[in-house]
Amino acid sequence: MGLFALEHKKLWRKASVRVSVLLCFAYVVIFGGVLSYQWFEFGSTDDVTSAFGNNFDGYAMIRSYQARADSYGAYLTDSSLQQMVRDIQADNDRGIFWQNADSRSTVNGYLSQLYPELEETDNAYPTLMEYYVDSAKLTDFYQRRQAALEDFLHLQGQGVGEERAMLLAMNDKVDEPFRYGWVRGWQFVLGSALADLGVIMAVFLAIVLAPTFSGEWHSNTAPLLLTMDRGWRRLARAKVLSGLAFAVELFMLLAAGGVAAQLIYLGTAGWDMPIQTIKLLAVAPMNMLQAEIYEYAFALLGAIGFAGVVMLLSALVKSNVLALLFSLAAVYGPMAIAQYLPYGLQSALGLLPLVGSATDIFRTNTFHIFGRYIWSPYLLITVPVLFGLACVPFAVRRWSRRQRA
Amino acid sequence: MELSFDRLTKHYGSKIAVDRVSAALGPGVYGLLGANGAGKTTLMRMLCAILEPTAGEVFWGGEEVTGMGAAYRNVLGYLPQDFGCYPNYTAAEFLAYIATLKGIPRDMAQRRIRELLDTVGLLGAARKKLRTFSGGMKQRVGVAQALLNDPKVLILDEPTAGLDPKERVHLRNLLADYAGDRIVLVSTHIVSDVEAIADEVLMMKNGRFILRGTVPQLVRQAEGKVWELTVPAAQARAWAARVTVANFRHEGERAVLRIISDERPGPQAVPCRATMEDLYLYHFGEEA
């Protein structure tokens, strides 16, 4: 414990670590959280060409968006959908755009997916269906969703057999009618802010942890450390533990900041809405809170897994710069090349720490392993951390071997 | 209590860094003397069991050290060449870190750290970060860390490098005091350091021991090979090109040369008393 505490202290003493954490916090919590809520994402719009042209009034706008959404009742039904469309059209007729600008995009998604036959191809703006559809025709919302889902699975090649049965069984557990409230706030949290958390953490984890072992060469302390009574194994374990602890601490810091900003700006309203209100054809029986917990867990476990990978790379090379470059390549390399690879390989790359996406909970992707279909988020959250932890013993062994070469 | 090594060899590819060296070291201070590249550091790293020999073995108390693991490390204190430390730690924190690595209980470590910082003259700088330390101060921290566990075998690789003359004298006295019934092996290419503290000198060249003995014994080997010759100052350069000149000084229009040579270099040359430095130059004249 003493050795771990000292290694941990040593890690945090570095100026590069403190600056990295500060920058990461500023980017994720201040820029991606507070300023996004107050300005870029939810500030009222005078200048539609740039998010920086928004007004600094996100807090008030969010309150008005939430109040508006709440006025349609607690559940998404045919009648509430019809009312939303009528309100959008009425506002449009009066030349008022902003009040419904927010729910408009959500409604547009519902209409385009469930009522494609209502699209007027000869309309000047055919995709903006919410402005012209006859609201009375917006009926059978849930039957249409079921049909659209089955069509989608068929198009995805998932329309038959065990895979289809598994996905539809998941979908059967989704409560209908959907709880309804203001969707776009949660869409921002789950689809943007949290989805990118791991990718951003990867940069800073790489900067901080790449020198874990290679740094001992850099600071020329390796020969000294190897003659200690506690030996390289305990020292390496302490280093690994402090690296993993750092990954958790960085995550906690960002998560605490993110949750605080979310609570201040969004509050807790809508936590029990199903994620299908964001993406209609999702099959996971999850509400917003569960989805948020999943995405945070995804980032945490991914960060721990990635920390393991970075420390292995740090043990493999003697140069801090190389360790950093390889670490960054370990996460951004697969992301960059994935689009050029066959689908199976793309999916496999997604199992590497912080390479896959937490937003797979909105998708119907599966892995077919040993004759069984497994919904991708189950593996995307577990395999990366196991992969990273499996790297740890190799890092310890490799480091000691290098010292004695 | 004996540290011995038998036909210890290290190859780096085709280069032989240490070539079948053997010795048995009992309590005392040993000076490992040799030019840069003679194999001193490689030998010391093998003795510390942090470098695997290509061949040969190291024994502590008759037991092969690689099999002893922590039991051997527990009796070992080591100051590597170019001693590295963590610049963001204070001297006291760094020593506390090393004490933990050495498995020294916390209370005992605190006392020992204070004692050693006092011994190496850094008690006043205990709370200063290592990045603010001069090279000599860092080297003293390095010596302190090597002594933390009160080692029975103390191996110091170039401990006086970077120290000013006062610090060197202080360190030499410290080691002489410390040695007692312990084995202290000090590598250096500074002859005066070895001369001042070593009970016995091991001289290395091209990875092998070429000489071993006490300072007087070794110096005796150089007797009859050291000459003083007075020549016109204008001829001094020509003499230096022809023979190994250990020293020369001007006396008016003339130069007095101290020459290392098996033969009397000239009829006017007079034999003079040899020193360790003369012996060193005799063996490493071209490299020194």
pLDDT above 70 for B43: yes
Considering the domain architecture, whether residues A270 and A308 belong to the same structural domain is answered as yes
- C-alpha A340/C-alpha A119 separation (Å) is 34
Q: Where are the domains of chain B?
A: 3-214, 224-272
Q: Tell me the average pLDDT across A308-330.
A: 96
- C-alpha B268/C-alpha B256 separation (Å) is 11
Domain-terminating residue out of A179, A194, A210: A179
* B17 Cα to chain A: minimum distance (Å): 14
Would the CB atoms of B88 and A219 count as touching at under 8 Å?
no
Single-letter code of the amino acid located at B179: A
Give A-chain residues touching B45 at CB under 8 angstroms: 223
Among chain B residues, the shortest Cα distance to A14 is held by: B88
Query: ipTM exceeding 0.85?
Result: no
- C-alpha A285/C-alpha A276 separation (Å) is 9
pLDDT digits (tens, 9 = 90+) for B245-258: 988 888 888 999 99
Bridging pattern class, strands B15-25 and B3-12: antiparallel
Least confident of A297-306, A312-321, A392-401: A392-401
Considering the domain architecture, whether residues A303 and A229 belong to the same structural domain is answered as yes
Contact B287, B230 (CB under 8 A): no
The H or E element that residue A38 is part of is none
Work out how many CB contacts closer than 8 A connect A with B: 77
User: Over chain B, what is the mean pLDDT?
Assistant: 92
Considering the domain architecture, whether residues A196 and A121 belong to the same structural domain is answered as no
Among chain A residues, the shortest Cα distance to B49 is held by: A227
A136 or A50, which is more confident: A136
Asked if residue A387 belongs to a domain, the reply is: yes
Q: What is the domain count for chain A?
A: 2
Asked if residue A258 belongs to a domain, the reply is: yes
Helix (H, G, I), strand (E, B) or coil at A366: strand
Q: What is the 3-state secondary structure of chain B?
A: CCEEEEEEEEEECCEEEEEEEEEEECCEEEEEEECCCCCHHHHHHHHCCCCCCCEEEEEECCEEHHHHCHHHHCCEEEECCCCCCCCCCEHHHHHHHHHHHCCCCHHHHHHHHHHHHHHCCCHHHCCCEHHHCCHHHHHHHHHHHHHCCCCCEEEEECCCCCCCHHHHHHHHHHHHHHHCCCEEEEEECCHHHHHHHCCEEEEEECCEEEEEECHHHHHHHHCCCEEEEEEEHHHHHHHHHHCEEEEEEEECCEEEEEEECCCCCCCCCEECCCCHHHHHHHHHCCCC
The greatest distance separating any two alpha carbons of chain B, rounded to the nearest whole angstrom, comes to 69
User: Over chain A, what is the mean pLDDT?
Assistant: 92
B224 or B287, which is more confident: B224
Q: Tell me the average pLDDT across B117-136.
A: 94
* A176 Cα to chain B: minimum distance (Å): 59
Considering the domain architecture, whether residues A78 and A148 belong to the same structural domain is answered as yes
Shortest CA distance to B73 belongs to which of B91, B95, B58, B87?
B58
- A225 pLDDT band, cuts 50/70/90, is confident
The verdict on A1 touching B (C-beta cutoff 8 Å) is no
pTM of the model: 0.85
Residue A87 is part of which domain span?
A: 53-179
The H or E element that residue A160 is part of is none
User: How many CB atoms are located within 10 Å of the residue A319 CB?
Assistant: 15
Considering the domain architecture, whether residues A289 and A198 belong to the same structural domain is answered as yes
Domain-terminating residue out of A179, A200, A233: A179
Domain-terminating residue out of A135, A156, A179: A179
Residue with tokens 């870190």: B97
Considering the domain architecture, whether residues A250 and A285 belong to the same structural domain is answered as yes
Considering the domain architecture, whether residues A380 and A353 belong to the same structural domain is answered as yes
Would the CB atoms of A6 and B49 count as touching at under 8 Å?
no
Contact A4, A228 (CB under 8 A): no
- C-alpha A336/C-alpha A223 separation (Å) is 39
Considering the domain architecture, whether residues A235 and A383 belong to the same structural domain is answered as yes
Considering the domain architecture, whether residues A195 and A162 belong to the same structural domain is answered as no
- C-alpha B128/C-alpha B113 separation (Å) is 14
Would the CB atoms of B101 and A2 count as touching at under 8 Å?
no
The verdict on A19 touching B (C-beta cutoff 8 Å) is no
pLDDT digits (tens, 9 = 90+) for B63-109: 999 889 889 999 999 999 888 899 999 999 999 999 998 889 999 99
Q: How many residues does chain A have?
A: 405
Give B-chain residues touching A226 at CB under 8 angstroms: 48, 50
Question: How does B122-140 read in b/e, with b if 16+ C-beta sit within 10 Å?
Answer: beebbeebbeebeebbbbb
pLDDT above 80 for A56: yes
* A199 Cα to chain B: minimum distance (Å): 29
The greatest distance separating any two alpha carbons of chain A, rounded to the nearest whole angstrom, comes to 82
Structure tokens at B2: 């004996």
Considering the domain architecture, whether residues A59 and A132 belong to the same structural domain is answered as yes
Shortest CA distance to A355 belongs to which of A373, A381, A378?
A381
Helix (H, G, I), strand (E, B) or coil at A207: helix
Contact A87, A100 (CB under 8 A): yes
Structure confidence at residue A100 (pLDDT) = 58
Question: Taking CA A349 as the corner, what is the angle to CA A347 and CA A352, rounded to the nearest 5 degrees?
Answer: 125
pLDDT above 70 for B286: no
The H or E element that residue A34 is part of is none
Considering the domain architecture, whether residues A172 and A188 belong to the same structural domain is answered as no
The rounded percent of chain A whose pLDDT value lies above 70 is 96
Asked if residue A132 belongs to a domain, the reply is: yes
Asked if residue A20 belongs to a domain, the reply is: yes
The CATH classification number of B3-214 equals 3.40.50.300
Considering the domain architecture, whether residues A257 and A374 belong to the same structural domain is answered as yes
Would the CB atoms of B97 and A230 count as touching at under 8 Å?
no
pLDDT digits (tens, 9 = 90+) for A150-170: 999 999 999 889 999 999 999
φ, ψ at A335 (rounded to 5°): -65, -40
Contact B39, A217 (CB under 8 A): no
pLDDT above 90 for A113: yes
Which of A3, A13, A403 is the closest to B50 by Cβ? A403
Which of A222, A225, A403 is the closest to B101 by Cβ? A225
- A49 pLDDT band, cuts 50/70/90, is confident
